[in-house]
Amino acid sequence: MPLARIRRAFLRPPALPPVAPERAPGALRAATFNIAHGRARWVSQLVVSRGRLEQHLDAIGTLAQRLDADFVALQETDTDAAWTSRIDQPRHVGVAADLQHIYRGHNSEMLRPWPLVYGNATLSRHEARRSEAVKFGRGRVGGKGFLQTEFEVDGAVLTLLNVHLDPLSDRRRRRQLEHVRRVVDDLDHATIVLGDFNSDLRVGRSLHAFAEHAGLCVATPGAGTQHTFEKLGRRRRLDFILGSRQVEFVATHVLPERLSDHLPLLADFQLR
């Protein structure tokens, strides 16, 4: 890859976030976005200054505000991590986005010799009735997991499961999704599972089997960008929004921008 292209990919400041598509009439809106610890397109957060991190997080917050979403699920977001100057990233983005309710699920909880506390966060316009974080495995650092948050919206109960799965092993992802499926099976109301699944929907893959066995519908983008992950010229769809039978998706969009190696995915939906 030519040096100039590498510099454009990793050193250029994030572009102004695009205006989000107009919300479907009468619909709720959920979005998911892996923000890559706020490093934008840089190779590692270890080489990004505090000032540039704050610039990136401000841009992510502006984007979240423009999305006009009721719920924003973030993955790879740091609460207290030495490698990102101990910035409380969910709070930083939530304040910028004017989403006052912030719920966290820490998949990494190492405090010494230096803090690495990060994971998933769900930002919302609505106050949750309950929130619970589930971490896969027992390790203190580098884990994955999901954040289960329950809301009451217009008299209906809605549970969001904000998921981040293993990036390397489909066998491990299958075990993790089996845990998520057991949670979904126990719920008798509207449920949305969204996040970074690190898997595509090909038959035989863990995500395809999970959606089929859990009876979940996949929100599918219409015209425009389809992939949600791009790195070194490779494009894949790794981020998804799935809903139970009580959820009807009416519009789905991937927004092309440069605030992470992932792209934000949003879906408008109605509760049946």
213-223 pLDDT, tens digit per residue, is 999 999 999 87
The conformation of residue 125, written as its DSSP 8-state character, comes to S
DSSP H helical segments within 68-169, as ranges? Answer: 89-97
Q: Does residue 142 contact residue 148 with C-beta atoms inside 8 Å?
A: no
State the pLDDT at residue 31.
98
State the pLDDT at residue 10.
47
Where residue 151 falls among pLDDT bands split at 50, 70, 90?
very high
Q: What is the pTM of this model?
A: 0.91
Reported residue count of the chain is 272
Amino acid at 18: P
Structure tokens at 219: 């929100």
Q: Does residue 63 contact residue 103 with C-beta atoms inside 8 Å?
A: no
Q: Does residue 124 contact residue 149 with C-beta atoms inside 8 Å?
A: yes
Cβ neighbours of 130 (radius 10 Å): 10
Cβ neighbours of 131 (radius 10 Å): 19
Query: For residue range 189-202, what is the model confidence (pLDDT) as tens digits?
Result: 999 999 999 999 99
In this prediction, what percent of the chain has a pLDDT beyond 70? Answer: 93
Alpha-carbon distance 204 to 187, whole Å? 26
- Give 46's contacts (C-beta < 8 A, 6+ positions apart): 83
Instruction: Sort strands 265-271 and 28-34 into parallel, antiparallel or unpaired.
Output: antiparallel
Alpha-carbon distance 53 to 82, whole Å? 13
Query: For residue range 83-119, what is the model confidence (pLDDT) as tens digits?
Result: 999 999 999 999 999 999 999 999 988 888 889 999 9
Structure tokens at 154: 């217009």
Query: For residue range 19-78, what is the model confidence (pLDDT) as tens digits?
Result: 678 888 899 999 999 999 999 988 899 999 999 999 999 999 999 999 999 999 999 999
Q: Which position has the higher pLDDT, 133 or 20?
A: 133
